[in-house]
Amino acid sequence: MSIVVVGSIAFDSVKTPFGICEHVLGGAANYFSLAASFFTDVQLVGVVGDDFPETHLTYLKTRGVDTAGVKRQYGKTFHWQGSYSFDLNEAQTLKTELNVFNDFSPELPEHYRQAQTVFLANIDPVLQLRVLDQVQNPRLVALDTMNFWIEGKNLELKKAISQVDILFINESEIRQLAKEHNIVKAAKAMQAIGPKTIVIKRGEYGALLFHKEAMFLMPAYPLEDLFDPTGAGDTFAGGFLGWLDKRGEITFDSLKEAMTLGTVMASFVIEKFSFDRMRTLEPAEIKKRYEQLQNLSIGPKQALEFAL
């Protein structure tokens, strides 16, 4: 099994109440790839400038990430600068320098086109549609987006959403996209467009899954050390889809497992800036936290008896 991911590879400059980091590695596809690589093979599509360190691409390869789809162009790598207040659910964008990402036009190497799982990270929906034209009969396609595309390219975005199986989106975005204040109604409106599975990312409040007629709520893992939420959503998606690709089947049970593992992976990445925590992460730590989160989110198994 393998996953093709298409999205940004970037430098981030981030300020949180707990520290500042300048020009560190980031980008949606980068975060996704590292998380998913703990469960399956990853094929990465993106663009970097001549300032991007070759050592990082080499590190990705050691994690089982195929970087044949990463193009290096003359110029500077995409750079995002943002800050967070004590409400870490919301980032304030201070500066976006697209640089070589401005002319990004994804072209999948031939051996990528047979991938069973495809993740369209948060990029222009026109580019997401272009990727869908290049893949051949994937078993599972998932898409992420943001308010910028909801406002600016609504029709193209809805066309892309209509062709995928899973939509990753946050609360404010799905309300805006569906034009529904109620989350349940908004999820059903998105399901009517195409994807039968909707995953609503809720930051420190966890995540909500809608699959056909079923629902599942996953709390966030409670942490003592939380430094930087940048990339948490993409890391969540990496753990989620990485597990589904490894599992090889899509059922409500496997989706609940994926929700748990996505939450676990996101809980690790936010413990430090950039990929510092992910570089030292061991499978045994993932297993332990998975079991802890299961115990936290699943109540007593014995039946309750009510006196009526």
Query: Do the domain assignments include residue 21?
Result: yes
Question: Residue 99: what pLDDT?
Answer: 95
Query: Do the domain assignments include residue 305?
Result: no
Query: Do the domain assignments include residue 306?
Result: no
Total structural domains within the chain: 1
Smallest CA-to-CA distance from 235 within 49, 58, 28, 17 is with 28
Question: Residue 32: what pLDDT?
Answer: 98
Question: Residue 288: what pLDDT?
Answer: 95
Segments of the chain with pLDDT less than 70: 298-308
Q: What tens digit of pLDDT does each residue of 233-290 get? A: 999 999 999 999 999 989 999 999 999 999 999 999 999 999 999 999 999 999 999 9
Question: Residue 296: what pLDDT?
Answer: 83
Question: Residue 90: what pLDDT?
Answer: 75
Query: Do the domain assignments include residue 76?
Result: yes
Question: Residue 308: what pLDDT?
Answer: 47
CATH code at position 200: 3.40.1190.20
pTM for the structure as a whole: 0.94
Question: Residue 111: what pLDDT?
Answer: 95
For residues 274 and 59, is the Cβ–Cβ distance under 8 A? no
Structural domain for 190, as ranges:
2-297
Query: Do the domain assignments include residue 308?
Result: no
Query: Do the domain assignments include residue 44?
Result: yes
Question: Residue 37: what pLDDT?
Answer: 97
Question: Residue 300: what pLDDT?
Answer: 55
- Which residue matches tokens 């991938």? 115
Query: Do the domain assignments include residue 304?
Result: no
Question: Residue 251: what pLDDT?
Answer: 94
